[in-house]
Chains A and B, each alone.
Chain A
Amino acid sequence: MQHYSGFGLVKHALTYHENWQRAWRNPTPKKKYDVIVVGGGGHGLATAYYLAKEHGITNVAVVEKGWLGGGNTARNTTIVRSNYLWDEAAWLYEHAMKLWEGLSQDLNYNVMYSQRGVMNLGHTLQDMRDIHRRVNANRLNGIDGEVLDIKQIQEIVPIMDCSKHTRYPIMGASWQPRGGVARHDAVAWGFARGADALGVDMLQQTEVTGIRKSGNKVLGVETTRGFIAADTVGVVTAGNSGVLAKMAGFQLPIESHPLQALVSEPMKPILDTVVMSNKVHGYVSQSDKGDLVIGAGIDGYNGYGQRGSYSTIEHTLQAIVELFPMFSRVRMNRQWGGIVDTCPDACPIISATPVGGLFFNCGWGTGGFKATPGSGNVFAATLAAGKPHPLAAPFSIDRFISGKLIDEHGAAGVAH
């Protein structure tokens, strides 16, 4: 693997940047792998990377129906934080946060993780009680968090309307300084390049169309490029997880919904943190390019169409304009949707399945980008050992039978 550095940049400038090595190969599928990862989003690629790096399992393929990172990974608004309420969730997301903090170095790829802080606004007394409870819980778990009053909020975000004249006046906020945003594409590409260098095959334009089993044991996957065998298969297909589960013959406690986002025309720097509000339901940050990155909640109906309804966008922008009246004249440039896999308790499923050797990592719903390195890390350990990593164990699919849910709905401030 060609090492990236400032010196390399200068060196390649001399040859007009025409001699950069490709970031990963485009191999033909082998007949058999030790592990197949279905889904080349951030989570699948991170899984493959850590399988190779931490467990020495390099005979691995990532099977992706489109192009790497073209699913929710490329469509999300990249908010990263770890201030979840319940221990199980907090530990998992904080595990990811620690990996984020060293990720660019580890991958030798700039994922542009910018710890600009994440603010969750409270607009009612109950919001504020929840915020206090959550921040206290975070601190007990060693996760940074503060409760801000209006004066402190206004110092951090002077352009926000913190007056009493709004429909839902802001009463306070939680604040996680270590939270922030990252460059989504770079995360996918960095993991892909790192995994490829360790020997993992990236099989793009290869759709899994069936799961071959013998009795109750997985044998491999049927794909548009033929059958590929493996004793261990990890499915990481986000919004399409229900489709893959159906191929394997079971159902998941998951429903797929459109989730939309939009970006504005680029502007001069105006907002240097992430502001989220669950109550009026909108969130916004400004990318390094200068565009406002805006999102909100899912479209309520089930959908696989990677688009949603305009009314949802309208509600989002109403909230944003209420918070930031000066944004009312900003023009929006692009709008899109991804398909998110929502779970009843707003927590992921990282789990064995009724089929031996077949594991699922899904249900991240509207908020899995922040978990990308942690999710891949614990899922790789789970695939390597054939049993759950300790941080993944509480996220077994069995919790929907036993009732031991990890209810992060509402508890986690906002769902992203």
Chain B
Amino acid sequence: MLHIYCPHCAEYREEEEFRPKGEAHIARPVAPEAASDEEWGTYLFFRKNPRGLHHELWYHAAGCRKFFNATRDTVSYQILETYKVGQKPSVVAGQSSNKGAAK
């Protein structure tokens, strides 16, 4: 069971209160009507899916019902940080905490 810190509730809660929502920081095409099929397809479907650090969206479904971001290792599943939508992650791939995770 993951123990997840909701930055809105400022509390650790059990995994079952949350829903993972996939890769974070995916920018919608700025001019949607001008976007090519390729840009749309990439935006909608193509994902980084890293083996290692992943910045992802979570939803506190059975809590405050707000979205937030997390940086999590997809091999150990360890959550390294959670932060509000609109903020930048402080742990990023290539830093020392990522050791061994890239394999």
Contacts and interface: CB of A to CB of B under 8 A. Distances in A.
Nearest to A308: B77
Contact of A311 (B16, B45, B49): B16
Nearest to B2: A309
Contacts of A255: 22-23, 47, 49
B7 interface: no
18 contacts: A242-B47, A246-B50, A251-B42, A251-B47, A251-B48, A252-B46, A252-B47, A252-B49, A254-B47, A255-B23, A255-B47, A301-B56, A302-B20, A311-B15, A344-B44, A401-B37, A401-B41, A402-B37
Interface residues of A, number: 24
Contacts of B75: 303-305
A27 interface: no
B76 interface: yes
A123 to B, nearest CB: 22
Given A301-B72, A304-B75, A310-B1, A251 B46 contact: yes
Interface in B1-51: 1-2, 15-16, 19-20, 22-23, 37-38, 40-42, 44-51
Contacts of A304: 51, 74-75
What size tier do the contact residues of chain B reach?
20 to 34
Given A251-B42, A302-B56, 9 more contacts: A242-B48, A251-B48, A252-B47, A254-B49, A255-B22, A255-B47, A305-B77, A311-B16, A402-B41
B60 interface: no
A226 interface: no
Contacts of A311: 1, 15-16
B79 to A, nearest CB: 10
Which interface residue of B23, B72, B74, B75 has the most chain A CB atoms within 10 A?
Answer: B74
A318 B15 CA distance: 18
Given A301-B56, A304-B74, A305-B77, A242 B51 contact: yes
Given A256-B74, A309-B1, A311-B16, A302 B37 contact: no
Contacts, number: 75
Contact of B74 (A302, A310, A403): A302
A400 interface: yes
Contacts of B76: 305
Contacts of B38: 401
B72 to A, nearest CB: 7
B41 A302 contact: no
A325 interface: no
A253 interface: yes
Contacts of B37: 401-403
A302 B2 contact: no
Interface string A329-363: 00000000000000010000000000000000000
A243 interface: yes
A302 B22 contact: yes
B6 to A, nearest CB: 15
A127 B48 CA distance: 34
Contacts of A303: 74-75, 77
Contact of A256 (B16, B49, B72): B49
A317 B45 CA distance: 32
